[in-house]
Amino acid sequence: MSRHDTLQHDPQLRLLIAQSAARMMAEEGVRDFALAKRKAAAQYGVVSGKNLPGNDEIQAALEEYQRLFRSHVQPQIVQQLRHTALQAMRLLADFRPCLVGPILNGSADEYTPVYLHLFADTPEEVLLFLLQQQIPFEQGERRVQYASGKSENLAKFSFLAGETEIQLTVFPPHGRRQAPLSPVDGRPQQRAERKQLEALMEADQSAG
């Protein structure tokens, strides 16, 4: 397929790229939507144009893949990851952690990190806490965007709990009032405090 061909709208090709990207995320542990999309599109000779699916389309394809091929294991994986997230939230209780992302919405797999939003006057408070707990960690930045159009770079810390990565994004205290936009659908991210996660886990157990 030529570069020119990508300018022609082809719904079937767009779906195939989304499905291929979803398989990479489910089977290879690719966490970045953009990377999965580029790799999948390259398989079909597409580099740009109308046939590149949105993150929401890839997410929908991922959930469909999990439903079709991983329904026997995925709910148990989500349950275990929620347990790990709850333990991390208890450890980090002083920073009023909120869970966000695939573990909260139930689309996680074994490669999914625990994504937590923390709230502190300064990122150094979280850094000092991790040092005091003797937890090996990596430090970086995460850029977030808001519905207002504002964006900012926030401190990010990550560490391992067993084989599960815990990713912490540190917001100022007023950051609780406005959640950043989801990279999947562009809407404000859903957040769950510890009690909300506990209630969700209890509901899961009752349903099981």
Specify whether the CB–CB gap between 176 and 119 falls below 8 A: yes
Domain that holds residue 45: 4-69
Q: Which residues, including other chains, have CB under 8 Å from residue 161's CB and lie 6 or more apart?
A: 84, 87, 88, 114
- Which domain CATH number covers 192? 3.30.460.10
pLDDT for residue 45: 85
Q: Is residue 10 classed exposed, middle or buried when 0-12, 13-18 and 19+ CB atoms within 10 A define those classes?
A: middle
Q: Rounded to an integer, what distance in angstroms lies between the CA atom of residue 193 and that of residue 104? A: 11
Query: Does 100 share its domain with 20?
Result: no
Number of Cβ within a 10 Å radius of residue 200: 16
Query: Does 86 share its domain with 153?
Result: yes
pLDDT for residue 7: 55
Q: Number of helices and strands (H, E) in the chain? A: 7, 5
Residue position matching structure tokens 């490669």 = 111
Query: Does 120 share its domain with 172?
Result: yes
From first to last of the 208 residues of the chain, give the pLDDT tens digit.
444 344 567 888 999 999 999 999 888 878 788 899 999 999 888 877 788 899 999 999 998 988 888 888 888 999 999 999 999 999 999 999 999 999 999 989 888 999 999 999 999 999 999 999 999 999 999 999 999 999 999 999 999 999 999 999 999 999 999 999 998 889 999 999 999 999 999 987 776 5
